[in-house]
Structure 1
Amino acid sequence: MKYIGSLLALLLIWSCQSKVSIEPTTVGPEPEPYRIVRDSVKTGAYLDIAIGEEAATAYPKIQALRTTKGVAYLNIVSNVFADLSPLKEQLPLYQYILLDQRPGTDTGVQITIEGQTVKSIYLNSGQQLSQWPEKQKASSSVRVGDAVSDLYDKLINVRNIDRYTNKFEYISLLTKNLSTKYDEVMSLSPQWYFGYSTGQNQMDQIQVHFQRSKVSKIYIDHYSK
């Protein structure tokens, strides 16, 4: 599935940040990054994120890493819902939204947001769309270029179409927009993760784990191409 999984998110961010071009010497896909070492922090702090602190106070520290480390994303694990109705305030706070039924399908819908507009729409099959559902009027479909402020009302209208209602059984708000405020629901997640470049062809991925809404441990995976 496009964009899902920590390593795939790592690849995406790395590809956006890296300015190094490596010419392949053989025909075939480029080699994937590999983990060279894992460090763990269970006492003290890392990147000013302290073990034992509340999720709400850890979030602005990660926001600050946009400037100091070039962090461009924050993924929220298990930030999943089965009802769209209470999510009106949450939707504009995220960059990646997945809509699907249980179990997952190739026709699940992945909506990515950049700034205040819908940037792209994909099905889990990899098919790119300009609007979803196709052939529906503007008020009952999400379209590339739509304002984020219109997204909730449009999705409510889509949900009311019988053939698409089951696509709202599994709603994942995965990637948090770091330019937006803290979402209280994030405190229920067992893990957040983000990554940033540490040098030429090198990157760290940081996993912040939580127990009872407090930071319990931090893992640092060091990757190299």
Structure 2
Amino acid sequence: MRTNFIGFLLSMTLVYGCQMEPSVTPETTGPEPEPYRITRDSIKSGNYLGIAIDEEAASVYPKIQALQSTKGVIYLNIVNNVFSELTTLKERLPLYQYILLDQKPGSDSGVQITIEGQAVKGIYLNSGQQLTQWPEKQAANSSVRVGDPVSSLYEKLASIRSLKAYTNKFEYISLLTKNLSAAYDSGMDQSPQWYFGYSTGPDQMDQIQVHFEGGKVSKLYIDHYAKY
């Protein structure tokens, strides 16, 4: 039950924390009550979970990585980590677990790619349709397929982008969920906010928002959630 609650809250916060990003969460676990926020705490001086106000983003990241073992943190979302030029992302794509490709404005045919370990785990359209490869009718060397090694992702996406019918799907490239097992992405310090969550008890969870200004922590919000 606790794992399902964390997964459900993560699905909700993909939209809540990144309202500028046209994210539609592909994986659901069936109808469950929507969680509600109990209280919000704010930190504007000192530190919380070892994350200090005015601390630089690069030194915050390993502290969040350490929370995987101490708090059970399973995700870190990076707000407004959005690009329109694929060629700048060759080294950055393998550092993320959730990638969204879409046109402007967002569309039902936007493509969500999830990565687990070192391979593509799932491919969904924003409409909710699940795919085994994208584009569906392209050859293996010019499509992203479930099971593809993450090391091949950039070259495959570059091949797809060269196809006129799919060029517009690279107008909006969002690198949202960071792979906490991977190295720090130096571009993360341009984000105005990171957020992550962890269970605090049966059907209870805290979500931590880390806000940045100029690459340094400006404030933290702690939202306390519980299930109905």
How many percent of aligned residue pairs carry the same amino acid? 72
In structure 2, give the amino acid aligned to 1:186. Answer: M
2:82 corresponds to 1:72: no
Please say if residues 17 and 79 of structure 2, whose CA atoms lie closer than 8 Å, have aligned partners that are also in contact.
Answer: no
Residue 179 of structure 1 is matched in structure 2 by 181
Aligned residue in 1 for 2:215: 213
**Match runs of 1:135-150 below 5 Å:** 135-150=137-152
Task: Give the whole-Å Cα distance in 2 for the aligned partners of 1:200 and 1:69.
Answer: 14
Unaligned runs of 5+ in 1: 17-27
| Equivalent residue letter for 1:5 | V
Determine which structure has more spread, i.e. the larger CA radius of gyration. Answer: 1
Q: Who is 1:106 aligned against? A: 108
SS at the partner of 2:165? helix
Q: Which residue of the partner structure matches residue 55 of structure 1?
A: 57
Counterpart in the other structure of 1:81: 83
The one of 192, 195, 205 aligned to 1:193: 195
Match of 1:125 in 2: 127
CA contact (8 A) 2:72 2:198 kept: yes
Q: Distance in 2 between matches of 1:174 and 1:44?
A: 28
The C-alpha deviation readout for 1:134-193, integer Å capped at 9, x for no partner, is 110011000000000000000000000000000000000000000001101100000000
Mapped partners of 1:132, 1:97: distance in 2: 13
Separation in 2 of the partners of 1:5 and 1:152?
Answer: 26
Match of 1:33 in 2: 35
RMSD: 1.8
Normalising by structure 1, report the TM-score.
0.89
> Partners in 2 of 1:220 and 1:99 — Cα distance?
30
Instruction: Tell me the TM-score normalized by structure 2.
Output: 0.88
Within 1, Cα distance between the matches of 2:136 and 2:225? 40
The answer for the alignment partner of 1:22 in structure 2 is none
- After TM superposition, give the deviation of residue 86 of structure 1 in Å: 1.1
SS in 1 for 2:225: strand
SS of the counterpart of 2:222?
strand
Letter in 1 for 2:181: S
Structure 2 partner of 1:5:
15
| Equivalent-residue separation in structure 1 for 2:59 and 2:226 (angstroms) | 31
- Is the 8 Å Cα contact of residues 108 and 125 (structure 2) preserved in structure 1? yes
Q: Cα distance, 1:30 vs. partner?
A: 2.7
Q: 1:134 aligns with which of 120, 130, 136?
A: 136
- Give 1:119 deviation, angstroms: 0.2
* Structure 2 unaligned spans of 5+: 1-9, 19-24
3-state SS of 1:5 partner: helix
The letter of the residue matching 1:216 is S
Runs of 4+ in structure 1 deviating by more than 4 angstroms, as ranges, are none
